[in-house]
Amino acid sequence: MPEQKKPELRRSVTPWGSFSWGYSDVGADIFVGLGLVLGAAAGASNVAFLFAGIVYVCIGLAYTELAATYPVAGGGQYFVLRGLGDIFGFIAGWAVLLDFTIDISLFTWTCVDYMSSLVPGLSSSLHPWSHFGICTLLIVGLCLLNLVGVRESTAFNGVVSALDICSETAILTLGFLFAFDPHLLVHTMQVSWPSADMFMKGISLAIVSFVGLESISQAAQETQRPASIIPRTSIALILTILIFALSYSNLALGMHTWHAIPHDAHGHAQMLWQWLGNDENNGKAVALLAAQVPYFGALAAFYVPILGAILLLISSNSGVFGSSRIAYAMSKGGLLPSIFQRVHPKFRTPVVSIVAFSAVAFLELGFAAIPTLEPGAARLYAHWFNGEGGLDFLADLYAFGAATSYSFVFIALIALRLYDPLSPRKFKIPFNIPFKVRGERVEFPIVGVVGFMGIFAILLFTLKTHIIGRIAGPSWLILGIIIYLIYRAQHKLPLFRSKKRDWRKEQVDILRNAGELELMDEYLANLKASDARIAAAAEQPA
């Protein structure tokens, strides 16, 4: 009887699908991040976005190189596992899992916030139970959509991503043409520069606007010809997101409004950025900004909340997809129980991972919603967390998870350049220092060091300025490490060292499964040449 083949993830993600998976995740971040950053970094919001954006470009380049070299599901977690070993791979993966589950709850939350612009009955402050109920229904719906399969989800993402790119381009182009005043921008930056603490908080929130490139590498195992497609889609995505984030922040600081801005609670006049960044409006800042674009704003006021809500919903969808894929990859790597790699026999999707991490997202949603649902809990939050509410809780954790995992990815990038120079890199980050290690030519990535310094600084800013983030984030990591150690002890696996793996064989399998046969041949030739060189060196008399 022939051996029955274990179901694997199918390769159905096209170039546009790969781009839209990334865009639907990271593109929606600006809808959440703009208001939060304006509220914290004030007149330096564009500089905060610039700082985070430069770090994001380094992250994007690192992910592009690594995902094209190792096109497997798992993304950052897999790269860290391969570069630094099991325990660090687990920590990075666990931090990414936190981000993806927060992605589900945070974007579902803000999706309903945007909808509440048109349907006031969904407002979290006025009708918290209906807000919470709709969020829950959305999470359940996305969970079911992902169980059915990636092809359907990719088509859904692709259409909405295309609509959103057109819409955002229209808002920004018309805003810059008809309402932007560069002198007002310079003036706002000079008179509204924030304190150092608020600037650091603004930068750590700005990184929230750039989280999600992970999705492209998460989908690598389901992408056709990943080593060729991923560099193309990643670079376009990195630049598109950077342009949108810098454009929105510059526009918000230097735009003359079409309508008068309402006075604040104390009756004082406020500037556009103050109005967008206050607690009442920071959840729907993009929609309010779009409504202030002359003439076009009349139309934008109606459709941008809808489009924003849909984009935020598909970002939540990316969270369901990403968390299930990374849990699948971690389970395959012996970092999580094998139940997480169980694939649905009909739909070939990781069914247990999808359900489990959607449930975690629901718990996070509940924790974020408690202060609005229960006044007693609101008093506790005010006492312990300095009044930070649901949105702050989710954003804090999002920034913490991203900064932690990206820090490890940069170290893994450097380690893999040194320890695995033979794997063909179809895309290589520019600016490298070449030298030789054990007779092999390696290239030390300067961008990796710059990126690590940047993201590590953001991690420190997050711990310094986010009250909930600095408690809940490390607690999540400690919980994960405990689960990891128990699992490893039960299965008699090394606790702090790594399992023995044949990386050479695994790399050949990865490239063969990806359909990258030319790269596989190149890799085999590199191995042969390296082995011959080592043998020749061993035969030489001392």
Partner 1 sequence: MIPLRFVLAVLLIGMGMVVLARVVSLGIHPEIFPGVILGAAILALGVHRMSLVLRAWKATR
Contact residues toward partner 1 (CB under 8 A) are: 46-47, 49-50, 53-54, 182-183, 185-186, 189-190, 232, 235-236, 239-240, 242-243, 246-247, 249-250
- Looking at the Cβ atoms of 62 and 172, the one nearer to partner 1 is 172
Phi, psi of 230 (to 5 degrees): -60, -45
Q: How far is CA 445 from CA 60, 65, 361, 411, 441, in A?
A: 14, 11, 36, 10, 13
Minimum CB distance to partner 1 smaller for 235 or for 446? 235
Distance of closest approach, residue 416 Cβ to partner 1, in angstroms: 25
**Between 376 and 430, whose beta carbon lies closer to partner 1?**
430
- Minimal distance in Å, beta carbon 381 to partner 1? 35
* Residue placing its CB nearer to partner 1 in the complex, 246 or 463: 246
Neighbours of 319 (CB within 10 A): 29
Query: E strands within 398-491?
Result: 432-437, 440-445
CB of 170 to partner 1, least distance (A): 13
> Which of 271, 48, 301 has the alpha carbon at shortest distance from 171?
301
Q: Which is nearer to partner 1, 155 or 186 (CB)?
A: 186
The Cα–Cα gap between 318 and 102 comes to 11
* Cβ at position 178, least distance to partner 1 in Å: 14
Minimum separation from the CB atom of position 541 to partner 1 (A): 51
- Return d(Cα 390, Cα 398) in angstroms, integer: 12
Residues paired with 440 in a beta bridge = 437
State in angstroms the smallest separation of the CB of 50 from partner 1: 5
What are phi and psi for residue 261, nearest 5 degrees?
-85, 135
From the CB of 247, what's the least distance to partner 1, in Å? 6
What minimum distance in Å lies between the beta carbon of 152 and partner 1?
25
Residue 271 or residue 326: which is nearer to partner 1 going by CB? 271
CB of 49 to partner 1, least distance (A): 7
Q: How many angstroms separate the Cα of 269 from the Cα of each of 186, 274, 380?
A: 20, 10, 33
Minimum distance from CB of 186 to partner 1 (Å)? Answer: 5
Q: Which is nearer to partner 1, 50 or 102 (CB)?
A: 50
Contact 73, 328 (CB under 8 A): yes
Rounded to the nearest whole angstrom, what is the least distance from the CB of residue 129 to partner 1 in the complex?
42
Q: Amino acid identity, residue 396?
A: D
- The set of residues, in sequence order, having a beta carbon less than 8 Å from that of 255 and lying 6+ positions away, is 175, 179, 180, 181, 184, 272, 289, 292
* Least Å from the CB of residue 243 to partner 1: 5
List the structure tokens of 176.
């810059």
**CB closer to partner 1, 184 vs 477:** 184
CA distance 286 to 305: 8
Q: Which is nearer to partner 1, 46 or 123 (CB)?
A: 46
Give the residue with the Cβ less far from partner 1, 223 or 249. 249
Cα 396 from Cα 351, distance rounded (Å)? 29
| Angle separating helix axes 196-206 and 446-465, nearest 10 degrees | 120
Structure tokens at 225: 């010809």
Rank residues 68 and 242 by Cβ distance to partner 1 and give the closer one: 242
Decide whether 250 or 274 has the Cβ nearer to partner 1.
250
> Which one-letter DSSP state was computed for residue 343?
B
Tokens of 70: 């190792």
Phi, psi of 333 (to 5 degrees): -85, 5
Residue ranges of E strands in 463-520: none
Contacts of 535 (CB under 8 A, 6+ apart): none
266: burial class by Cβ within 10 Å (0-12, 13-18, 19+)? exposed
